[in-house]
Amino acid sequence: MKTELRTNLKAIFGRAYVRLVGAHREPSWLISEALLPLLSTASFVYVYKALKAPEEYTGFVILGGAMTAYWINVLWSMAAQFYWEKEMGNLELYLVAPISRMAILLGMATGGFYLASTRAIFVFVVGSLIFKVNFVVISLGKLALIFFLTQVALYGLGMMFSSLFMLFGREAWHTTNLFQEPIYLLSGFFFPVKSLGFTIGLLASFIPLTLGLDGMRQLAFKGGKESGLLNVNLEIGILVILSIFFLIAAHYALKYMENMGKKEGRLTLRWQ
Partner 1 sequence: MSYAIETLELTRTFKKGKKKNNSNSKQPELIMALDEVNLTINPGELFGVLGPNGAGKTTLIKILSTLLLPTSGIGLVDGIDVAKYPEKVRKKINMVSGGEHSGYGILTVRENLWMFSQLYGMQTKVALQRIDELMNLLGMQEYSRLKISKLSTGMRQKMNIIRGFVCDPQILFLDEPTLGLDVQISREVRKLIKSWVKEKKEKTVLLTTHYMAEADELCDRVAIIDNGKVLACDSPSNLKTSLKQDAVFHIEVNLMLDNLDRFNQIPGVRKFAYEHKPHTGRTDLKFILENDSYISAVTGEISNNGSEILSLSKTEPTLEDVFVSLCGKGLEDENRT
Ligand X SMILES: Nc1ncnc2c1ncn2[C@@H]1O[C@H](COP(=O)(O)OP(=O)(O)OP(=O)(O)O)[C@@H](O)[C@H]1O
Beta carbon of residue 260, minimum distance to ligand X (angstroms, whole number): 12
- Residue 55 or 92: the one with the smaller Cβ distance to partner 1 is 92
Question: Closest CB to partner 1 among 18 and 249?
Answer: 18
Q: Residue 265 Cβ, how far from ligand X at the closest point, in Å?
A: 3
Q: How far is CA 198 from CA 84, 94, 150, 194, 211, in A?
A: 38, 44, 20, 6, 12
Residue 267 interacts, among partner 1, ligand X, none and using kind-specific CB cut-offs from 5 to 8 Å, with partner 1
Residue 141, interface with ligand X (CB under 6 A)?
no
Task: Tell the smallest beta-carbon distance from residue 121 to partner 1 (Å).
Answer: 21
Q: Which x/- pattern, by CB under 6 A, does the window 239-268 give for ligand X?
A: --------------------------x---
Partner from ligand X, partner 1, none binding residue 126, C-beta < 5-8 Å depending on class: none
Query: Which residues of this chain interact with partner 1, rule CB under 8 A?
Result: 3, 6-8, 10-11, 13-15, 17-18, 21-22, 25-26, 88-90, 92-99, 262-263, 265, 267-268, 272
Binding-site ranges for ligand X (CB under 6 A): 265, 270, 272
